[in-house]
Amino acid sequence: MLFKCKNCGGNTVFSPEKKKMYCPHCESVDSEEKIGDSSLVQCVNCGAPLQITEYTSACRCEHCGMYLIFNERVEGAFEPKLMLPFCIGKDMAVAAMEHEFSRRLFAPADFLSTKSLEKMEGIYVPFWLYDYGAFYDFAGEGTRVRTWRSGDTEYTETSYFEVIRQMDVDFDRIPVDASIAMDDGIMDLMEPYDYRALADFEPQYMSGFFGEVYNQEAEELDGRAQAKARQASEELMQRSMTEYTTVRPFRKNLNLNRESFCYALMPVWQYVYRYKDQSYLYHVNGQTGKVIGVTPVSRGKVLAYGASVFAAVTALGCMAVHVLEIL
């Protein structure tokens, strides 16, 4: 399917700034109409062949520029229950990149150029959201250490306490990405998300962006969700015992129970920069603007900087010698 403007026939897309469907051609709002079912092999608008993967759920036709959403990959078993619509547009994502990396002295000259950043694309990444219940039974020995000084003598007093904790907590919507194309570590660093903005799935939100269908099942990724629930449980338990100097556990029983899971789409801006035959990936959280990525280093800039520093030091040395000669 695709969405066209009723007024001018242009491609209407979802605008994160306006939070509505928007036609960039005639600037009308909420003027969209859905056009037909999309073919996986050719553009429903111009008929040009499409180059997509077996997991692509939304793309942009390279010939006519229309954003297409593939019905069979957003319906039935592949229909997301929830999605987090893009909250920041491309301009804000670019601004976040510039703010994060503009002060990197040795980055290549065109790293943040307008031409390079224009290649940034918004992608709806498939996620599984898990709900887990946790019961943590803990027993141990805690200490409180007090030190004081009297004259030249320092005294230490250690008090011992029995520490018993029982914690019953629910973890809602633990996010785990379900795309083999995305680096799991990077997707974890994209967190946190504000789930108050979650919405029921609507294909209109995908217009103007790329998308992927999940290619890893919920059962396959359950271990990652469990690991996150376990880590969060440990952190909560540790925070409940900060009044002690040390805590030595005698008993630690953590029971996790998966209560439910659902399929959702999360918004990510992705920028690919090629330098010296190597690709550097950068990601911007499409809701919060959080930036993840490592800046490439220009060897030419490093050498130029080293040469300028050497020249400056040499000049200062010559000046010092000249002053000494005068004296």
Residue 95 pLDDT > 80: yes
Omega before 126 within 30 of 0, i.e. cis: no
C-alpha angle with apex 258: 253 to 263, nearest 5 degrees?
A: 150
Q: What share of the chain in percent tops pLDDT 70?
A: 87
Predicted local confidence at residue 327, as pLDDT? 54
Residue 4 pLDDT > 80: yes
Residue 319 pLDDT > 60: no
pLDDT in tens, 251-278: 999 999 999 999 999 999 999 887 777 7
85 vs 14: CA distance, rounded Å: 9
Residue 306 pLDDT > 90: no
Residue 113 pLDDT > 80: no
Q: What is the mean pLDDT of residues 73-80?
A: 94
Q: What is the mean pLDDT of residues 34-43?
A: 82
Beta-bridge mates of residue 139: 164, 251
Predicted local confidence at residue 300, as pLDDT? 47
**Statement: the pTM of the whole predicted model exceeds 0.75:** yes
190 vs 196: CA distance, rounded Å: 17
Q: What is the mean pLDDT of residues 66-76?
A: 94
Q: What is the mean pLDDT of residues 23-50?
A: 88
